[in-house]
Structure 1
């Protein structure tokens, strides 16, 4: 009798253990995602589709150690306070395992600080400000997208080749725009000491007075223009500048403007000849991009935008990090897994650098042209993000010790 009772106890304990293991295997890994969906739909609607494609690919392949990925998404209303409140709710109430997201740089910085305070892993997918991985960086925050410094550094050789002395600048007056301008001026001055910056127009984000800005730039009689405006602001700027002849025989170097999100709005008003960073999705002939393009078009019956690539690559990065950690989503395990993490995204191989938690995702540099009534990039080349970084010594000076 005693033996049978003991046997049933052991059997019951074994069944409980197996049930617990099965429940763990059938559970989910919850990814909390915060972004400005209502404020920046041109970029973030495709971004959400890119995330979904990656999520489906991972889950259809069995997930990670039997656990499926689950996205829990919140809108930050384009304000840092709402972003932090959303992050708090995701961590405390939804019990997400990791955080990702953000588009606008000042919101990315707020979430970077939240990650530091709460000791939670955060992959900043899109915000470009250098401070996320340098001045305000911390061990809990990694960043996927090519930073402001990297984007500008890709364009500086093209700008120097123009051999123009008098430059005018226009930018959105918040963290990203200010950072881009500071980098452009510093890098250009270092290589071309006699350069002059004859006009700087700082426009409120999303509220550019295009007529006044164009007139002020024209009045300064620049030899060339450096533009940092994006989204609806750059469309208004292009339309007004074209109407007033601002770009006639005057080269423009422009960050982000070759991205389809913005080219879609130009249509036959695309400013031919602008030197830009962007994403010529129609013409990229690499195996990894062709596979991504085919899968994206099959699923959504649409072509990808840059947001699609960023969203897809963010989820793939998190999945690869969890795999590298042995399935753990504990903060310290994720930090260790992402240090030097390598994977292949639609743009090719990338690595999350141990020195500053920045990925080496690059961007395409080329010129704008019109084709069949739409804006496209031509004469483009891919610039590896690893090749447009300051020296390690400079980065150590910029980044505070963790």
Structure 2
């Protein structure tokens, strides 16, 4: 990381009583949150914390992760106040955009630095803030890449089956605007107004060649995939899941071969560098399976915060003031933050973006179909 203009004094990073430097972590670990994504995120956070402490901590003080389960419920973002009262130096994590938005608003109000790991919705805060930074790419960046993949594959009439949500509505808008500007059509099928079988009827009537699943997992996503696969009228219709549901083993376990061949967004490079490969192996050992990009996001979050805390101390204003000076080698490339229009936060622009699917011939294997 770039050196600070004001190097921290000894007492700012090394605590005389040996008390830990605390980071608060927001993670969905129970339903209706996407618990598997939460486990991957937490595993990445914990691995990085363990490595920091094995290397001497923060100026000789141990780094301590204080975890709160959000369960995809924005009301659980009240934990931000609790964590602030506990004296955390910064806030990390969160996967669900609806929770991250509430957490970011509270962090901004409290003057608590928040490095958001995985939530992608563009407007993470209503107004620009100096307190919040983000590792995950903005939704508009990733989903436009996904739209380009669809266009390149010859799809010009695309349907979305969407549930009511700020996140899904934002994704639909991004896709519609990007596709319309290139002569393609987006057909919206409201999942709240029709059962799964009626979605199949509407899809057949609309003559769409692709259906995007902007819905919750496991339901109604699993039922929708199975219904489309078994409807002979829809042979040849491509299903897609830009939000990344097929990334996780739970998807493959529930759907088997039916869950393959469904392209999704993944934020990994084509090949990991030496650090990424080492961390990937450690994550695999802890998870007992291939780590998702979310696990790497968790690791990179702590890697950035540890460098910031070492260089700038634990004062919250100094931590937040360091965002524009960050230059940390993460698992997926050099991490730097800048002001990106439409986000309101300090943004890594951009992590690598891929469109990937599970190989129908070998569902445990991923195929890279497009890079952004």
Smaller-chain TM-score bracket: 0.7 to 0.9
**Ranges of 4+ aligned residues in structure 1 off by more than 4 Å:** 18-23
Tell me the distance in 1 between the aligned counterparts of 2:134 and 2:12.
35
Find 2:70's aligned residue among 72, 76, 83: 76
2:354 corresponding residue in structure 1: 364
Aligned partners of 2:246 and 2:252 also within 8 Å: yes
Tell me the SS of whatever aligns to 1:353. Answer: strand
Residue 111 of structure 2 is aligned to residue 119 of structure 1: yes
- 1:333-353 CA-partner distances (Å, limit 9, x unpaired): 112212242222222223222
Tell me the SS of whatever aligns to 1:178. Answer: helix
- 1:216-236 CA-partner distances (Å, limit 9, x unpaired): 323322133233335313333
Tell me the distance in 2 between the aligned counterparts of 1:178 and 1:115.
25
Find 1:276's aligned residue among 264, 285, 295: 264
Residue 44 of structure 2 is aligned to residue 44 of structure 1: no
Matches within 5 A, 1:381-392: 382-383=371-372
Tell me the SS of whatever aligns to 2:212. Answer: strand
Aligned partners of 1:27 and 1:68 also within 8 Å: yes
Tell me the distance in 2 between the aligned counterparts of 1:22 and 1:315.
18
Tell me the distance in 2 between the aligned counterparts of 1:223 and 1:175.
26
1:319 corresponding residue in structure 2: 306
Q: CA deviation at 1:210?
A: 3.1
Tell me the SS of whatever aligns to 2:151. Answer: helix
Tell me the SS of whatever aligns to 1:108. Answer: helix
Tell me the distance in 1 between the aligned counterparts of 2:191 and 2:147.
20
Tell me the distance in 2 between the aligned counterparts of 1:169 and 1:177.
10
Tell me the distance in 1 between the aligned counterparts of 2:12 and 2:204.
70
TM-score normalized by the length of structure 1: 0.79
Matches within 5 A, 1:133-212: 135-192=126-183, 195-203=184-192, 209-212=195-198
Tell me the distance in 1 between the aligned counterparts of 2:234 and 2:23.
45
Pair 38,185 (structure 1): closer, same or farther in 2 beyond 3 Å: same
1:99 corresponding residue in structure 2: 91
Find 1:33's aligned residue among 21, 25, 31: 25
Pair 164,354 (structure 1): closer, same or farther in 2 beyond 3 Å: closer
Aligned partners of 1:268 and 1:375 also within 8 Å: no
- Larger RCO (alpha carbons 8 Å, 6+ apart): 2
1:344 corresponding residue in structure 2: 329
In proportion to residue count, which structure has more helix?
A: 1
Q: CA deviation at 1:251?
A: 2.8
Tell me the distance in 2 between the aligned counterparts of 1:106 and 1:279.
20
Q: CA deviation at 1:29?
A: 1.0
Tell me the SS of whatever aligns to 1:237. Answer: helix
Pair 144,159 (structure 1): closer, same or farther in 2 beyond 3 Å: same
Q: CA deviation at 1:167?
A: 2.0
Matches within 5 A, 1:211-290: 211-229=197-215, 231-233=217-219, 234-245=221-232, 247-255=234-242, 256-261=244-249, 262-272=251-261, 274-278=262-266, 284=271, 286-290=273-277
Tell me the SS of whatever aligns to 1:191. Answer: coil
- 1:290-330 CA-partner distances (Å, limit 9, x unpaired): 211222234444331233112212111211222332xx122
Q: How many residues align?
A: 353
Pair 19,309 (structure 1): closer, same or farther in 2 beyond 3 Å: closer
Tell me the distance in 1 between the aligned counterparts of 2:291 and 2:339.
30
**Which entry has the higher C-alpha Rg, 1 or 2?**
1
Aligned partners of 1:158 and 1:275 also within 8 Å: no
Q: CA deviation at 1:76?
A: 2.4
Tell me the distance in 1 between the aligned counterparts of 2:14 and 2:296.
34
Pair 298,235 (structure 1): closer, same or farther in 2 beyond 3 Å: same
Tell me the SS of whatever aligns to 1:130. Answer: coil
Tell me the distance in 1 between the aligned counterparts of 2:207 and 2:14.
71
2:83 corresponding residue in structure 1: 90
